[in-house]
C-alpha cells in the first residue's frame, strides 16, 4: 500500500431528490480536491435517501432505481472522478438487468472504472434483495479497498473475510445512530426539535451525537473492526432528518490500531480528512492475528445453528402487530 489522503463526508440527504443529493456530492468532492484527497466516501443510499424507502411499494422503488454502471448517477460519479482524479464512493438503489433491486454502493475511479457492492444484509424493504458476495478491489492510488454497507459491518465475519481478501482500507458507509433499536440498551430516538434548533443551540444536539445514541454506540465496536483485522476504516454516515429518525453523523477515519485519526460530531453536513500512512499496517496487531489463525478449528463458523433469521426478521420484530 502507498500513503493516501482520504475523506469521509456526512450529509443530510433529501429523500427522492437525486439531483440535490448529487449536487451535494459534487460540492464536497470539489472541496476535497483542493486539499489533494484521493479517496472520498459518502453515506449509504445518500443519492436516493434511505429510511423513507421502507414505506414505498415496489413500483415506487423501481422508479428510484438505476442500472449500475450505465445509470445517470454512476455516470455523474464517474465524471467527477475523472475530473478531480479522485475515487468517489456513494450509495443508491440499483436495478439489475433481471429487475432485482439492491442497496448498492458504487465507487467510481479516475481511470474510468467502477466497482459496486450490494449490501449483504439488506432489510430496508421486502422488495429489495440482499447481495451474496464480498467486494475487494485495487485502486489507481496504490491501495486495496473493501466495501461493507452499514449492517454488513456489524457482523465480525464479514469484516474478517474482507480482510482475508486483502483489503487494506475498508469503506463503511452507513445510515445509523438515533435509531429506534429493538435492543433496549442501544441507541434510541433523538428529539427532532434538537435538530431543528441546532443553529441556536448546537451543544444540545452535539451532546446527543457524542453520547450513547451516536459516538458512544460506535465506540463499542467500530474501532475493533479496524484493530482486529489490521485495516484502515472510513466511516461515513447520514446526519439529520432521515424520515422519522435523526441520524448522528459522527464521520470518522480509524487506523489499523483502532485509533481515531479524524472525526466530527458536528450537527451539519461536514467532512473529515486524514493521511493514511502505509507503515501503520506493518506489524499491527490485526495483521499478526490473521497470520496466526488456525482455520482447521473454525469449521463451526460455517455450520448453521438453526437460530439464523433473515435480516428483515431481526430488524422488524413484530409485537402486537406493530413494527418496532
| Per-residue model confidence as pLDDT tens digits over 210-234 | 999 999 999 999 999 999 999 999 9
Question: What's the confidence (pLDDT) of residue 309?
Answer: 82
> Binning pLDDT at 50, 70 and 90, where does residue 322 land?
very low
Work out the percent of the chain whose per-residue pLDDT is above 70.
96
Question: What's the confidence (pLDDT) of residue 315?
Answer: 56
Q: What is the mean pLDDT of residues 129-153?
A: 97
> Binning pLDDT at 50, 70 and 90, where does residue 314 land?
low
Per-position b or e across 21-52, b if 16+ CB within 10 A of its CB: bbebbbebbeebbeeebbbbbbbbbbbbbbbb
Rounded to the nearest angstrom, the gap between the alpha carbon of residue 230 and the centroid of all alpha carbons in its chain is 19
103 in Cβ contact with 91 (< 8 Å) = yes
Does position 294 have pLDDT exceeding 50, yes or no?
A: yes
Q: What is the pLDDT of residues 250-287, one digit of tens each?
A: 999 999 999 999 999 999 999 999 999 999 998 899 99
Does position 196 have pLDDT exceeding 50, yes or no?
A: yes
Work out the percent of the chain whose per-residue pLDDT is above 90.
90
> Binning pLDDT at 50, 70 and 90, where does residue 180 land?
confident
> Binning pLDDT at 50, 70 and 90, where does residue 181 land?
confident
Class of domain 4-323: alpha beta
C-alpha to C-alpha distance for 68 and 38, rounded to whole angstroms: 22
Arithmetic mean of pLDDT over the chain: 94
Question: What's the confidence (pLDDT) of residue 183?
Answer: 75
DSSP character for 36?
T
Q: What is the mean pLDDT of residues 201-211?
A: 96
What pTM, to 2 d.p., does this model score? 0.95
C-alpha to C-alpha distance for 37 and 52, rounded to whole angstroms: 32
Task: Please name the residue ranges forming H helices in the chain.
Answer: 18-33, 58-64, 72-84, 151-154, 156-164, 192-196, 202-210, 215-218, 222-229, 285-291, 311-315
C-alpha to C-alpha distance for 265 and 239, rounded to whole angstroms: 10
Q: What is the pLDDT of residues 22-79, one digit of tens each?
A: 999 999 999 999 999 999 999 999 999 999 999 999 999 999 999 999 999 999 999 9
Domains of the chain, by residue range, sit at 4-323
290 in Cβ contact with 164 (< 8 Å) = yes
Amino acid at each position: 500500500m502507498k500513503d493516501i489522503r482520504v475523506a469521509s463526508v456526512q450529509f443530510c440527504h433529501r429523500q427522492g431528490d437525486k439531483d440535490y443529493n448529487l449536487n451535494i456530492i459534487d460540492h464536497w468532492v470539489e472541496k476535497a480536491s483542493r486539499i489533494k484527497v484521493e479517496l472520498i466516501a459518502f453515506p449509504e443510499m445518500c443519492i436516493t435517501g434511505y429510511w423513507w424507502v421502507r414505506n414505498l411499494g415496489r413500483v415506487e422503488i423501481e422508479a428510484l432505481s438505476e442500472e449500475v454502471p450505465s445509470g445517470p448517477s454512476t455516470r455523474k460519479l464517474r465524471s467527477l472522478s475523472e475530473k478531480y482524479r479522485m475515487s468517489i464512493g456513494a450509495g443508491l438503489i440499483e436495478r439489475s438487468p433481471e429487475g432485482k433491486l439492491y442497496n448498492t454502493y458504487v465507487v467510481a475511479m479516475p481511470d474510468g472504472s467502477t466497482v459496486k457492492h450490494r449490501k449483504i444484509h439488506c432489510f430496508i424493504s421486502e422488495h429489495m434483495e440482499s447481495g451474496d458476495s464480498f467486494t475487494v478491489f485495487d485502486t489507481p492510488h496504490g491501495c486495496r479497498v473493501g466495501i461493507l454497507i452499514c449492517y454488513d459491518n456489524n457482523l465480525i465475519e464479514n469484516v474478517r473475510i474482507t480482510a482475508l481478501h486483502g483489503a487494506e482500507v475498508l469503506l463503511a458507509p452507513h445510515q445509523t445512530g438515533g435509531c429506534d433499536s429493538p435492543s433496549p440498551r442501544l441507541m434510541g430516538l433523538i428529539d427532532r426539535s434538537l435538530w431543528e434548533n441546532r443553529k441556536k443551540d448546537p451543544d444540545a444536539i452535539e451532546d446527543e451525537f457524542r453520547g450513547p445514541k451516536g459516538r458512544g454506540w460506535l465506540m463499542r465496536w467500530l474501532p475493533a473492526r479496524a484493530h482486529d483485522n489490521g485495516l484502515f476504516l472510513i466511516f461515513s454516515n447520514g446526519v439529520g432528518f432521515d424520515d422519522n429518525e435523526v441520524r448522528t453523523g459522527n464521520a470518522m477515519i480509524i487506523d489499523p490500531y483502532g485509533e481515531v485519526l479524524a472525526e466530527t460530531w458536528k450537527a451539519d453536513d461536514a467532512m473529515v480528512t486524514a493521511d493514511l500512512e502505509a507503515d501503520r499496517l506493518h506489524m499491527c496487531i490485526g495483521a499478526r492475528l490473521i497470520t496466526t489463525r488456525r482455520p482447521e478449528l473454525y469449521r463451526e463458523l460455517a455450520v448453521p445453528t438453526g437460530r439464523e433469521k433473515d435480516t428483515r426478521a431481526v430488524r422488524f420484530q413484530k409485537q402486537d402487530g406493530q413494527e418496532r
